[in-house]
A and B are shown apart, each in its own frame.
Chain A
Amino acid sequence: MNLLHRWKVVHDSDDSVTERLRERLSNLRIRDVWEFFIERLIWLSGISIIVIVALIFLFLLREGSAAFLDIPLRQLFGRRWYPIEGIFGIWPLMVGSILVTAVAISIAIPLGLITAIYIGEIAPDWQRDLLKPIIEVLAGIPSIVLGFLGWIALAPLIQRLGAPTGLTIFTGSLILAYMSLPTIISISEDALYAVPKSFRDSALAIGATQWQTIWRVVLPAARSGLVIAIMLGIGRAIGETMAVMLVTGNAANIPDLNLGLIFQPARTMTATIAAEMGEVAQGSLHYSVLFGIGIILFVITFAINSIASRLVGVQEAGQRRKRG
């Protein structure tokens, strides 16, 4: 092709391009531009959630990394927490959180599962309509109000029952148990509801009692959902701050292993941050360690929630298979 020919071809195609562009522009209206803009904003909202979670972790890391870099790990996980003398052993705080959560969950799981069974399988409709709002009310009570009640009414009671002091792991766990109950109950309820009616009908048809049906058929079928309920309940308990701060005594102590274990005081990670953050000079090592504790809390709850999420996916796949 000679040059002239090529030039002509290019200019011909130029014309059609500008033609098409001119046509597009004349059809474009404000509404379309507006709509395009809105849809981009919506997409932006969607991904901003990911950005926010990342930002939270990054900020925690930014302020708290010094704790992990400047303090040898053996010291950081040491048995004594006494920050004003530079002793930053967070192990007693972790033990405190773990113990308070563990006892709370051991109270909340039986209470919660059984209540969910009651609401889902046994209670008549009028009771169900009454119970569900009450559980929602329980979920709505602010943690500081429960902590306040624990401090002013529950702790003295526990002391009168013979403990050296009423500010103990058990006091905190009792309050935490009730705070986690709504989470455990509602998710367990959903899990039980998701079990197909045919399962129950088949069991009853071959002569099982209602309880036998629940115990041997419904519960095993709802197992993964119940596990999720428990995990989210754990997450709720381990993250609570004000209620435990008021009633556990805040002693950074690894309790002695004896029968009175749960009636000794403790100090949780969350209460430590809340109680000490106000005093620290920004950028100091104490400041970084408190943020470091925040990082640990974030990682723990992230792990729990991600595993629970994964389990939801597995559960949904399983349900699809069951329905056939």
Chain B
Amino acid sequence: MHLSKYAMCSVLSLILLFTLSACVQPVDNTASEEAVEGRAIQNKGSDTLVNLALAWAEAYQSVQPDVSIAVTGGGSGTGIAALINGTVDIANASRSMKEEEIAGAQANGFDPVEIRVAIDALAVIVHPDNPVDQLTIQQLSDIYTRRIVNWNEVGGSDAPIVLLSRETNSGTHVYFLEQVVRQGDDENEDIFAPQTLLMPSSVGITSEIRRNPNAIGYDGLGYVTEHEKVLAIAKDGNSPYVLPTTETGADGSYPLSRFLFMYTAGEPEGSIAEYIDWIKGPEGQAIVAELGFVPLNEE
């Protein structure tokens, strides 16, 4: 009796599984180069860009009411990964794609296309009560690798330096790693000190800076408010200390300015191409300036 009992159960379970699998429709979540009518454009990635992307999406609603855009953050790495996996139409990134990522995209059958959509001046911020006004990139590198641990080593008060950073999936984090911690040197292998607090977003950094006099952090200029103090940065001991502004970001005198990108799978077409063109146009760039970022130079 035992044998037939189990046989019966296996047969029944197989039938159940079969019926279930027949009901499941494989959903084509893959994005296409052209957004399908009625489906939202999926836009995901850089946290630095997310509020800009949201502002663009909201403004575009009045320009093209029948095109809707869904915006998600998560970091440049997240957006690029999603582009490679085929689940978004546009990936926002505050850094360029790495070679492995480009290879991954090509392995999935497409070439990623990089489009510059804005310029960002990366501000180094501290608490308003912090007496320090300016730092060189060398000093920043030493601070973030814990070769310097106390504020009094850079002209401040006797207080421990609390390091704030974005998560490793952030393009801003990677940019800071390459240009500040490694001082732009490709051969440099330094990484952030393990005591660095990895905050969930740009807002996380500014919130902590606001209430912690010991903290130092970095954020896109668009995220900085009057509640944080911006430091003037010098490329090295001989260069002038420059504060990040729209002008110094645009003319390159501020050493830490970078492009912000949107990536698509292959050349953009249809409503996606229209949206990106609008972003690069005068209306889109006006929103860039409004949010505290640096508009693209006239090309």
Q: Do chains A and B touch in the complex (CB under 8 A)?
A: yes
| A40 B8 Cβ-Cβ under 8 A | yes
| A84 B198 Cβ-Cβ under 8 A | no
Kindly supply a per-residue 1/0 record for chain A positions 234-253, scoring 1 wherever the CB is within 8 Å of any chain B CB and 0 otherwise: 00000000000110011111
Surface stretch bound by A, among B130-138, B211-219, B261-269: B211-219
Complex Cα spacing A189 to B16, Å: 43
Q: Chain B residues near A79 (CB, 8 Å)?
A: 194
| A164 B160 Cβ-Cβ under 8 A | yes
Known: A84-B174, A167-B208. A40 touches B12 (CB 8 A): yes
| B208 A278 Cβ-Cβ under 8 A | no
| B211 A281 Cβ-Cβ under 8 A | no
Choice from A156, A246, A264, A279 contacting B78 with Cβ under 8 Å: A279
Complex Cα spacing A31 to B191, Å: 71
Question: Looking across the interface, which residue of chain A has its beta carbon closest to that of B82?
Answer: A278
| A252 B212 Cβ-Cβ under 8 A | no
Known: A276-B168, A281-B104. A251 touches B211 (CB 8 A): no
- Is A211's beta carbon under 8 Å from chain B? no
What is the CB-to-nearest-CB distance from A154 to chain B, in angstroms, rounded to a whole number? 12
What is the CB-to-nearest-CB distance from B215 to chain A, in angstroms, rounded to a whole number? 7
What is the CB-to-nearest-CB distance from B24 to chain A, in angstroms, rounded to a whole number? 16
Please classify how large the interface on chain A is, using the bins under 10, 10 to 19, 20 to 34, 35 or more. 35 or more
Complex Cα spacing A103 to B217, Å: 29
| B75 A279 Cβ-Cβ under 8 A | yes
Kindly supply a per-residue 1/0 record for chain A positions 124-148, scoring 1 wherever the CB is within 8 Å of any chain B CB and 0 otherwise: 0000000000000000000000000
Choice from B162, B169, B200 contacting A245 with Cβ under 8 Å: B200
Q: Chain B residues near A279 (CB, 8 Å)?
A: 74-75, 77-78, 81, 167-169
Question: Looking across the interface, which residue of chain B has its beta carbon closest to that of A79?
Answer: B194
- Is A275's beta carbon under 8 Å from chain B? yes
What is the CB-to-nearest-CB distance from B92 to chain A, in angstroms, rounded to a whole number? 13
Complex Cα spacing A165 to B160, Å: 10
- Is A34's beta carbon under 8 Å from chain B? no
| B194 A251 Cβ-Cβ under 8 A | yes
| B81 A159 Cβ-Cβ under 8 A | no
Which residues from 63 to 81 on chain A have a C-beta closer than 8 Å to any C-beta of chain B? 79-81
Which residues from 185 to 229 on chain B have a C-beta closer than 8 Å to any C-beta of chain A? 191-192, 194-200, 208, 211-212, 214-215
Complex Cα spacing A278 to B84, Å: 13
- Is A104's beta carbon under 8 Å from chain B? no
Complex Cα spacing A267 to B199, Å: 11
What is the CB-to-nearest-CB distance from A69 to chain B, in angstroms, rounded to a whole number? 20
Q: Number of contacts between A and B (CB, 8 Å)?
A: 94
Question: Looking across the interface, which residue of chain A has its beta carbon closest to that of B8?
Answer: A40
Complex Cα spacing A275 to B169, Å: 9
Q: Chain A residues near B81 (CB, 8 Å)?
A: 278-282
| B9 A40 Cβ-Cβ under 8 A | yes
- Is B142's beta carbon under 8 Å from chain A? no
Known: A92-B194, A159-B212, A251-B194. A281 touches B167 (CB 8 A): no
Q: Chain A residues near B13 (CB, 8 Å)?
A: 44
Q: Chain A residues near B212 (CB, 8 Å)?
A: 159, 165-166
Known: A164-B162, A165-B162. A156 touches B196 (CB 8 A): no
Complex Cα spacing A164 to B149, Å: 12
Q: Chain B residues near A87 (CB, 8 Å)?
A: 191
Q: Chain A residues near B61 (CB, 8 Å)?
A: none
Question: Looking across the interface, which residue of chain A has its beta carbon closest to that of B192?
Answer: A82
Complex Cα spacing A87 to B208, Å: 27
Q: Chain A residues near B16 (CB, 8 Å)?
A: 44
Question: Looking across the interface, which residue of chain A has its beta carbon closest to that of B16?
Answer: A44
- Is B101's beta carbon under 8 Å from chain A? yes
| B84 A85 Cβ-Cβ under 8 A | no
- Is A99's beta carbon under 8 Å from chain B? no
What is the CB-to-nearest-CB distance from A262 to chain B, in angstroms, rounded to a whole number? 15
Complex Cα spacing A282 to B108, Å: 12
Complex Cα spacing A265 to B194, Å: 10
- Is A7's beta carbon under 8 Å from chain B? no
Complex Cα spacing A80 to B211, Å: 29
What is the CB-to-nearest-CB distance from B190 to chain A, in angstroms, rounded to a whole number? 10
Q: Chain B residues near A44 (CB, 8 Å)?
A: 9, 12-13, 16
What is the CB-to-nearest-CB distance from B292 to chain A, in angstroms, rounded to a whole number? 24
Which residues from 248 to 288 on chain A have a C-beta closer than 8 Å to any C-beta of chain B? 249-254, 264-265, 267, 275-276, 278-282, 284
Complex Cα spacing A111 to B167, Å: 35
| B197 A275 Cβ-Cβ under 8 A | no
Kindly supply a per-residue 1/0 record for chain A positions 85-110, scoring 1 wherever the CB is within 8 Å of any chain B CB and 0 otherwise: 10100001000000000000000000
Complex Cα spacing A150 to B248, Å: 39
| B194 A276 Cβ-Cβ under 8 A | no
What is the CB-to-nearest-CB distance from A256 to chain B, in angstroms, rounded to a whole number? 9
Q: Chain B residues near A276 (CB, 8 Å)?
A: 167-169
| A265 B195 Cβ-Cβ under 8 A | yes
Choice from A41, A246, A265, A278 contacting B74 with Cβ under 8 Å: A278
| A251 B195 Cβ-Cβ under 8 A | yes
Which residues from 147 to 187 on chain B have a C-beta closer than 8 Å to any C-beta of chain A? 159-160, 162, 167-169, 174
Choice from B12, B104, B160, B199 contacting A250 with Cβ under 8 Å: B199
- Is B85's beta carbon under 8 Å from chain A? yes
Which 8 A-B residue pairings sit nearest by Cβ, starting from the closest? A279-B169, A279-B77, A253-B194, A249-B197, A279-B78, A250-B198, A281-B81, A278-B78
Interface, chain A (partner B; CB < 8 A): 40-41, 43-44, 79-85, 87, 92, 156, 159, 164-167, 245-246, 249-254, 264-265, 267, 275-276, 278-282, 284
Can you name 18 extra interface pairs (CB under 8 A) apart from A43-B9, A265-B195? Answer: A44-B12, A79-B194, A82-B192, A92-B194, A159-B212, A167-B197, A251-B194, A264-B195, A275-B198, A276-B168, A278-B74, A278-B81, A279-B77, A279-B78, A279-B169, A280-B77, A280-B81, A281-B85
